Amino acid sequence: MINFRFHIASLIAVFLALALGVVMGSTVIDRAIVEGLRDRIDTVENKADTQRAENSRLKSQLDNLNKYAEQSSNWTVEAQLTNQPVAVVAERGVNKDLVKAQTELLRQAGGVVPGVLWLEAPWNLGGDGKNADAMRGALGITTRTDKTLRSDAITALSQRLAEGASAPGESDVLDALAKAGFVTLEGVGNGDVSASSFPGSGARVLLLGGPESSITAQDTTVVLTRALVAAKAMTAVGEIDPDSSKISRGLWLAPVRNDDQLKSVVSTIDDVDVVQGRVASALALADLARGVVGAYGTGAGAASTVPLKVIAR
């Protein structure tokens, strides 16, 4: 007969075998899992390396294209604005260096650009009424509401820019607005600029602004653009937004671009913060002389990157 000790030994052997099988099985499974994960990691790393190499190639290509655009910009606009006075009007708050770059390119195109007329924050009026009183004093009027007062000032400024400097001895609204702190004239190049010389006769106007503008009073840009058109000043409006995305670019310009009165007579450029936009601004100002108006850039509402035809040199 099989004794009790034999049963105990058999049971122990069975349990030992089961334990050994579990240990060996789990080891094999763990190794398979680890190897699978390693393979996946290697695959991901290889794809990441490939993507980094592609990104580097594309960045190099983009840098070269930007360099080409920058280095060819002067030639592209050469003689397009020969001896043409241009009044650059910029809303304070936008990138000053980019405004300067635009004025320099206009000068490379042959334009007579003695300086930049900066519109200052007091145009917003409001507050304690001191700015409104200062504007009434500069204009010599008694208009009460801020909105109407601002509109009257914009009309007076636009007419002044379209007509050019006042005759010696006559009152000059541009000079009055400058003394009251509503505008600042800043020279470009090596010379200074003053109200008595800004702008030249028959000047075309490039109005520059953007989301960073300190002119926050509603519709100021649209009202100013309409007033310039009414004063018969050939006008283009450019947006400066260095931090814009594809979605946001052109939003600041939308009120002008969507205005039925303006879109057929005013050219718009939504990317003056890049060299392509600055080239488009110069060419658009040149094109206005032959009645060609367009919406340029890469944002909402743009029809082409730059004017497709320009005045022959």
Mean pLDDT in residue range 199-214: 95
Of residues 198 and 296, more confidently modeled: 296
Task: Tell me the residue range of the domain where 205 lies.
Answer: 82-296
Question: 198 and 234 in one domain?
Answer: yes
Sequence-distant (≥ 6) Cβ neighbours of residue 250 within 8 angstroms:
239, 257, 270, 297, 299, 300, 301, 302
The answer to whether position 69 is within a domain reads: yes
Specify whether 182 is located in the same domain as 111.
yes
Say if 312 falls within a structural domain: no
Q: Has residue 202 been placed in a domain?
A: yes
153 touches 135 (CB < 8 A): yes
137 has pLDDT over 80: yes
Q: Which residues contact 56 (CB under 8 A, 6 or more apart)?
A: none
Check residue 82 and give its pLDDT.
Answer: 96
Tell me, yes or no, whether 281 lies in a domain: yes
How much of the chain, in percent, has pLDDT values that exceed 90? 61
pLDDT value at residue 65: 52
Position 310 in a domain: no
Q: What's residue 192's pLDDT?
A: 77
Residue 69 phi, psi dihedral angles, 5° rounding: -60, -45
d(Cα 230, Cα 213) in Å, to the nearest integer?
24
pLDDT number for residue 245: 75
Q: Is the pLDDT of residue 241 over 90?
A: yes
Same domain for 150 and 224? yes
Specify whether 60 is located in the same domain as 133: no
Are residues 221 and 269 located together in one domain of the fold? yes
Q: 166 with 288, same domain?
A: yes
148 located within any domain: yes
Lowest-pLDDT range, 50-64, 134-148, 237-251?
50-64
Residue with tokens 């914009």: 154
Asked, for residue 283, whether it belongs to a domain, the answer is: yes
**Mean pLDDT (the chain, rounded):** 86
- 191 shares a domain with 102: yes
Tell me, yes or no, whether 58 and 101 share the same domain: no
- Reading the block at residue 50, the tokens are 């490939």
Q: Does 95 lie in the same domain as 56? A: no
Domain count, the chain: 2
196 and 151 in one domain?
Answer: yes
CB 150 within 8 A of CB 122: no
Please indicate, yes or no, if residue 304 is contained in any of the structural domains.
no
For residues 279 and 306, is the Cβ–Cβ distance under 8 A? yes
Residue of 154, 130, 132, 246 lying closest to 205 (CA atoms): 154
Indicate the residue among 18, 53, 77 that finishes a domain. 77
User: pLDDT value at position 68?
Assistant: 46
| Mean pLDDT calculated for residue range 21-41 | 68
Q: Which of 36, 55, 77 is the last residue of a domain?
A: 77
> How many other C-beta atoms can be found within 10 angstroms of the C-beta atom of residue 110?
19
Boundary-marking domain end, from 77, 101, 132: 77
Same domain, 212 and 281: yes
Selected residue with higher pLDDT from 193 and 173: 173
Are the beta carbons of 278 and 306 closer than 8 angstroms?
no
One domain for residues 30 and 120: no
pTM recorded for the entire structure: 0.80
* Bridge partner residues of 117 (DSSP): 89, 185
